Amino acid sequence: MLPGTTGSNAGAGSGQQTTLGVMGGGQLGRMFVQAAQSMGYFTVVLDPDVISPAGLVSHYHIQSDYLDEQGLAQLMQRCAAITTEFENVPAPALITLGAHRPVAPSAEAVGIAQDRIKEKAHFVRCGVPVAPYAVIETPAQLAAVADDLLPGILKTARLGYDGKGQARVSSRAELTAAWAEFKNVPCVLEKLLPLQMECSVIVARGWDGACVNFAPQLNLHRGGILAVTQAYEGNMPLALAEQAVAATKSIADELQYVGVLCVEFFILADDSLVVNEMAPRPHNSGHYTLDACDLSQFDLQVRTLAGLPLVQPRQHSPAIMLNLLGDLWEGGVSPRWDQVLALPGAHLHLYGKLKASKGRKMGHLTFTGATVAEVRANALAGAELLGIDAF
Ligand code: ATP
Ligand code: MG
């Protein structure tokens, strides 16, 4: 049941239609809207973009800025509850909404995930190991950086994504230059770690604290952007998988988080686990759940928001997901989907973006099958057809 409501909160057939809202109109919002609609909910998207992927498929689209008072008022008027699909929604907007409607995740949780400095402090509070790092907000802090943090990666505290707002630095001179390049905004310098693998864990936590999870998925990045996700039993050592799930749950519990949360981890050369960052929303690495699980990460986002029961999702097929970046549309020519879709177990998801550009997430392609070997073979064939450097 939605907190503060009485009677049936079912999306369909309950007399008055329940409407759920989402801040942001990207592909994550689109898949949320689709999941909500399949349960009979009406949906509202707030996004300034006239042709946003979610706005195009939602019952209502409020085309306003995220901080526009009228836009926010309209959203609250229409919606029983509101979620967000990207972490850079201005916190004041979520505070305004949260004063009048259930908002999940909360402004506070999103505010922590938006800021690498607060985020790392939260991980440390939870007792989950982070990469050695230093906060750089002042020239004095820059000068005081310990030598053993180099070579490292300088990351802006706010507004980074897909490797943007990051610079690899190997000397103090490079560090100083990189910080100047970032206009001396607050940053963290992280020690460059020897990564063996990267994985992520997605949990959904309800208003009552109930928490369910997907098994950790293994992620390959290219150029700072997720390229491939491998989700199947045996993708990583069991002990590490268990450790990653436990760490994610403690990170969510400690925040009293409500909604879907993704935590990204590094697995180092010595098999130790280090937390990288969290996303207060469904995550690109969880898109395979749409086709390989009985409940997707978006179904769970709807359930958490609407206060419906959370049950542990079950993966019914091994899966490999390939991200489809704008690079594949070079020269304005669409990839040969007829060839790709001839492969067994291929599930194509395109986000309805009208313009392709380098690095832009246009869609994803998930392969499922009876066995890991079969899924790997078909995913490799698909990657080859598309010219993706897979795995
Ligand atoms: P996202 O799109 O996931 O939000 P982001 O821009 O926030 O990405 P990070 O997740 O911090 O960036 O880093 C992107 C990638 O860079 C990581 O997935 C990892 O491959 C690499 N990386 C980041 N930090 C480190 C580190 N300390 N040591 C080694 N590699 C790193
Ligand atoms: Mg990341």
The pLDDT tens digits of the residues spanning 319-347 come to 999 999 999 998 889 999 999 999 999 99
The closest of 13, 61, 1 to 41, measured between CA atoms, is 13
Residues 60 and 208 in one domain: no
Structural domain total, the chain: 3
Distance of alpha carbon 351 from alpha carbon 361, whole angstroms: 8
pLDDT for 309: 96
What pLDDT was estimated at residue 223?
87
115: Cβ contacts below 8 Å, ≥ 6 apart: 157, 158
Return the closest-CA partner of residue 2 out of 304, 311, 310: 304
**Cα 334 to the chain's mean position, in Å?**
26
Q: CATH number for the domain including 290?
A: 3.30.470.20
Residue to mutate, 150, 166, 283, 285, ligand 1, most ligand atoms under 8 Å from C-beta: 166
How far is residue 28's CA from residue 283's CA, in Å, rounded to a whole number?
8
For ligand 1, atom 19, name the residue with the nearest CA: 224
242-264 pLDDT tens trace: 999 999 999 999 999 999 999 99
Q: Is the CB of 190 under 6 A from ligand 1?
A: yes
176 plus 240 within the same structural domain: no
Domain boundary among 173, 191, 209: 191
Q: What is the pLDDT of residue 7?
A: 43
210 and 338 part of one domain:
yes
Q: Which residues contact 41 (CB under 8 A, 6 or more apart)?
A: 11, 12, 17, 18, 19, 20, 302, 306
Q: What pLDDT does 200 receive?
A: 98
Quote the pLDDT of residue 49. Answer: 96
Reduced to 3 states, what is the DSSP secondary structure of residue 292?
Answer: helix
| 379, 320 contact by CB (below 8 A) | yes
pLDDT confidence of residue 13:
42
Residue from 56, 26, 20, 65 nearest 41 by CA: 20
Residues near 173 by beta carbon (within 8 Å), at least 6 away in sequence: none
Look-up of token digits 């790392």: 120
Q: How far is the CA of 163 from the centre of ligand 1 (A)?
A: 6
Report which residue type is found at 137. Answer: E
Burial of 236 (0-12, 13-18, 19+ CB in 10 A): buried
Q: Are residues 243 and 307 in the same domain?
A: yes
Residues 78 and 207 in one domain: no
- Structural domain that includes position 182: 132-191
The reply to whether 113 falls in a domain is: no
Ligand 1 site, residue 198, Cβ cutoff 6 A = yes
Same domain, 138 and 58: no
Per-residue confidence (pLDDT) for residue 16, from 0 to 100: 59
| Residues in the chain with pLDDT values less than 50 | 1, 3-8, 12-15
Distance CA 99, CA 104 (A): 12
- My answer on whether 295 and 219 are in the same domain is yes
Do 184 and 321 lie in one domain? The reply is no
pTM: 0.94
pLDDT at 162: 66
- Alpha carbons 120 and 129: distance in angstroms, whole number: 9
Q: Using a 6 Å cutoff on CB, does residue 132 contact ligand 1?
A: no
For residue 251, is it within any domain? yes
Rounded distance between C-alpha atoms, residue 244 and residue 231, angstroms: 14
Angle of CA points 73, 78, 81, to nearest 5°? 95
Q: Of the bound ligands, which one is closest to the alpha carbon of residue 158?
A: 1
Domain end call among 168, 191, 214? 191
- Per-residue pLDDT at 332: 85
